[in-house]
Amino acid sequence: MPSDYLPEHAQAAPRCKSGPRAIGRPAGAGTHPVGLLRRPLPRRLTDLQRAPAVASCLMVDIQPELWIDQAAAAVSFYQSAFDAVVLHQVGEGDEIVAQLAIGEARFWISSGGHDGPRFSPNAIGGTTGRTLLVVDHPDAVFARAIEAGATAASEVTDEHGWRLGRICDPFGHEWEIGRPLGSWPPG
pTM over 0.75: no
Give the length of the chain. Answer: 187
Nearest alpha-carbon partner for 11 in 19, 1, 21: 1
Question: Mind listing the pLDDT tens digit of every residue in the chain (187 residues)?
Answer: 444 433 443 344 333 343 333 333 334 434 333 333 333 444 555 555 555 555 566 768 899 999 999 999 999 999 999 999 999 999 999 999 999 999 999 999 999 888 878 899 999 999 989 999 999 999 999 999 999 999 999 999 999 999 999 999 999 999 999 999 999 888 7
Give me the residues paired with residue 163 across strands. 158, 179
What is the predicted pLDDT for the residue at 81? Answer: 97
Give me the residues paired with residue 96 across strands. 91
Domains of the chain (ranges plus CATH)? 3-55 (no CATH), 65-180 (3.10.180.10)
What is the predicted pLDDT for the residue at 113? Answer: 82
Give yes or no for a contact between 171 and 124, defined as CB atoms under 8 angstroms apart: no
